[in-house]
Amino acid sequence: MLQETLRNNITTIHGEIGLQWLQNLPQNLARLSKQWGLTELNPVENMTFNYVTKAVQGKRAVILKFSLDPDSLYQEMSALKYFAGHGAAKVIAYQDGALLLELVEPGNSLKGMNYDNRTKLQICCELTKRLHQVELPIENSFPSFHAGLSLLDHEWSLPPHFLAYARNLRDDLLSNPHNEKLVLLHGDFHHDNILLSGTNAWCVIDPKGVVGFPINECWSFVMDVKEDTQYIAQFFDYDVLFVRQWYFVHVILAACWNLENDLPADLFLNLAAKIHKLIQDFK
């Protein structure tokens, strides 16, 4: 039975097109299974915007991801290929709207691991460093994260002083990048998207694939605002104020994303208040 969350999301976002996509799903899965030699399909739990199922191809375990947003799925596939060999799930095949990946095993998410926060933070920093070691080609089709910061220039129902401060910080940080070079970012680097591969290795899944500075990757795995920003500064040899200023920009941007999608922004405003105080106290 198709999960209600996926059904509701698809029909709410895509309307009649989404309903038709859902109705055609069984025959499309059958077509892809025949084309790629897949057996033993076993849908994963908690699908949200894509249909995702485990399967077997020959003797190897795989993941099939089927999407109504082929452009985003293509970008994800491109990012995974770009990160190949540096801590990312392996791409097996792709065609319009369908992505076949090697199953990450055992596949436990970092979020579900019984580790203390410092251990999880260290894993995130080390994996981030691995991903960013790959040189960004001069010519590439990945979108710019920094261009997306223009969302801050819209009018939002946010505290005016926070919004104004985020805009000013953004402009200052982009004009003074502290020797940061552009890299391909995962773009959604949180604990649910980091999986255990083998006994003690970690890899990422579900990248967005956007171009930005390495510092732009770090905000999403901060759990303790004060301690984690201090650790990130030490690990990457950043000035702690630089880390905290970028973190403020990111959480206000996240608040704008939520408001844009008619979601509450309280969580991000609370984080903004905490980091704002740390920045002011630092001065």
Question: What integer pLDDT is reported at residue 282 of this predicted model?
Answer: 78
Q: Do residues 145 and 211 make contact, with C-beta atoms less than 8 angstroms apart?
A: yes
Which CATH architecture best describes the domain 4-103? Answer: 2-Layer Sandwich (3.30)
Per-residue pLDDT of 120-172, as tens digits, reads 999 999 999 999 999 888 888 899 999 999 999 999 999 999 999 999 999 99
Q: Which string of DSSP letters, residue by residue, matches 8-31?
A: HHHHHHHHHHHHHHHHHHHHHHHH
The CATH homologous superfamily of the domain defined by 116-282: Aminoglycoside phosphotransferase (APH), C-terminal lobe (3.90.1200.10)
206 sits in the region (left: phi over 0; alpha: psi -120 to 50; else beta) called left
Q: How many CA atoms lie within 13 A of 92 on its CB side?
A: 21
46 sits in the region (left: phi over 0; alpha: psi -120 to 50; else beta) called left
Helix, strand, coil tally for the chain in percent (to 5) = 55, 20, 30
Domain boundaries, the chain: 4-103, 116-282
Residue tagged 């844009």 (tokens)? 260
Burial class (CB in 10 A: 0-12, 13-18, 19+), 85: exposed
Residues of the chain with pLDDT under 70: 1-2, 283
Question: What integer pLDDT is reported at residue 81 of this predicted model?
Answer: 95
Q: Which pTM was predicted? A: 0.91
Question: Do 4-103 and 116-282 agree at the fold level?
Answer: no
CA neighbor of 134 nearest in space, from 81, 196, 90: 81
Q: Do residues 180 and 154 make contact, with C-beta atoms less than 8 angstroms apart?
A: no
